[in-house]
Amino acid sequence: MLAEGKPVINLGEGELHFDTPEHIKRAGIAAIERGDTKYTAVAGTSELLDAIIDKFARENGIHYARSEVIAGTGAKQLIFNALLATIAPDDEVLICAPYWVSYPDMVALADGRVRVLPSSADNGWKLRPDVLRAAIGPRTRWLILNSPNNPTGAVYTRDELKALTDVLLEYEHVLLMADDIYEHTRYADSFATPVQIEPRLRERTLTVNGVSKGYSMTGWRIGYAGGPAWLIHAMQTLQSQSTSNPSTISQAAAVAALRGGIGFMTDWLATLRASRDLVLATIGRCDGLRCDVAEGAFYAFVDCSGLIGATMPSGTLLHDDLDFANYLLETAHVGVVHGGAFGVEHHVRIAYAVPMATLEDACRRIEAACAALTLPLIEAGQP
């Protein structure tokens, strides 16, 4: 549609619109100018590994050795390598819906099986300990926890994490993956990663993070992880025979990011909060849409169940969330992601980390498109 000259606004992309902070860009440029353009150790330069170790100790209270950390071409690669290194055919991986879209396919590529665990808006889109305990079986290999969550923005409290880690202590064969990539993009004051809450899980927990979301460095492609040496070694072996080391230039920039602080995040979060509030206000004015306030990330996970069965101006019915997403794209020229991609139907995800003027335009278009729908009649006696 863009190629046809249509003014499409993309609210489906999971990245911040802010520029990478200047000191980080300068570090990348300096790496080029001094000739840091050759191979490094597969797991990353010693400078980057030390910066990762320091970050985990300083911000998360987790102390790793060099053999227990690794850098990769994005957090995505590290998650995939960890799964590929540890999953045998038919091993199960537990993920809570809504989930990041790549988890199930990564598990499938490793010949594993996904078991999707339910959550709901009523409990803040968080996994309950009783649901976790009931799902664990002899072939359970991993539980993946993502906080702040994509697509809901849910952030687990320390007490909620403690309840889940207490369950995992009972099952020594289950590994835990903490996907913390949105750690710094949150509105809640408190954040904890599982090993902070339960150090006894340290030897079977992989804590994954990166610079993409918190430092607006998606294109630099640097992720990092900390975990037991046996797992990091296996991931490094895979990496050595696939992508090898991450970009040397990006590694130098990541060192500057991890050592330079996140003072800029105060202004970024203020902007994101205003964007979130704009989206929520728009949703509140649209009959058939509903959305709770998210505590982290930069998404609104919008319940569109009230529009299922509505009639479009063309006379066609909206049958599901994909229909609604396509309707917004074709009618309002606004791109969103349908909830089915995240394992929960009758929702759409709106990524609001775009310039405010762009978001205001998109919100006007969404509101007009919803107003043009004819809502389904509610039968007597139905809520």
Mean pLDDT, residues 363-380 taken together: 86
Residue 276 has pLDDT above 90, yes or no: yes
User: Looking at the predicted structure, is the pLDDT value of residue 273 above 70?
Assistant: yes
Q: Write out pLDDT tens, residues 145-204.
A: 999 999 999 999 999 999 999 999 999 999 999 999 999 999 987 899 999 999 999 999
Read off the pLDDT of each residue in 354-366 and give the average, rounded to a whole number.
Answer: 98
Beta strands in 168-213 (DSSP E): 175-179, 205-210
The yes-or-no verdict on residue 378 having pLDDT over 90 is: no
pLDDT at 93 exceeding the cut of 50:
yes
Right CATH number for 22-259 from 3.40.50.300, 3.30.1490.20, 3.40.50.2000, 3.40.640.10? 3.40.640.10
DSSP state for residue 354 in the 8-state scheme:
S
Q: Can you give the pLDDT at residue 367? A: 98
Provide the terminal-to-terminal Cα distance of the chain, rounded to the nearest Å: 39
Cα distance between residue 148 and residue 184, in whole Å: 9
- Positive or negative, the CA dihedral 63, 66, 67, 69 is positive
Single-letter amino acid, residue 289: L
Which residues does residue 205 pair with via DSSP β-bridges, in sequence order? 176
Cα–Cα distance measured from residue 305 to residue 302, given in angstroms and rounded to the nearest whole number:
9
CATH of 9-18+264-371, one of 3.20.20.70, 3.10.180.10, 3.40.50.300, 3.90.1150.10: 3.90.1150.10
* DSSP three-state, residue 5: coil
Question: Out of 5-9, 226-230, 332-336, which region has the weakest mean confidence (pLDDT)?
Answer: 5-9
Q: pLDDT grade, residue 380 (50/70/90)?
A: very low
Q: Where are the domains of the chain?
A: 9-18+264-371, 22-259
Which of the four pLDDT bands, split at 50, 70 and 90, describes residue 379?
very low
Contact 350, 377 (CB under 8 A): no
Which two three-digit tokens encode residue 286?
A: 């649209």
Any idea how long the chain is?
383
* 27-58 per-position pLDDT tens digit: 999 999 999 999 999 999 999 999 999 999 99
pLDDT, tens digit (0-9, with 9 covering 90-100), for 329-341: 999 999 999 999 9
Q: Which two tokens stand for residue 370?
A: 């919803």
User: What strand order describes the sheet that includes 205-210?
Assistant: 69-72, 223-226, 205-210, 175-179, 140-146, 92-96, 113-117
Give the pLDDT mean for 290-311: 97
- Give the tens place of pLDDT for each residue, 188-213: 878 999 999 999 999 999 999 999 99
pLDDT grade for 381, boundaries at 50, 70 and 90: very low
**pLDDT above 60 for 236:** yes
Structure tokens of 279? 């989206």
What are φ and ψ of residue 98, in 5° steps?
Answer: -75, 145
Reduced to 3 states (helix: H, G, I; strand: E, B; else coil), residue 223 is: strand
Residue 119: is its pLDDT beyond 90?
yes
Give the chain's mean pLDDT: 96
- Maximum separation of any 2 CA atoms in the chain, in Å: 74
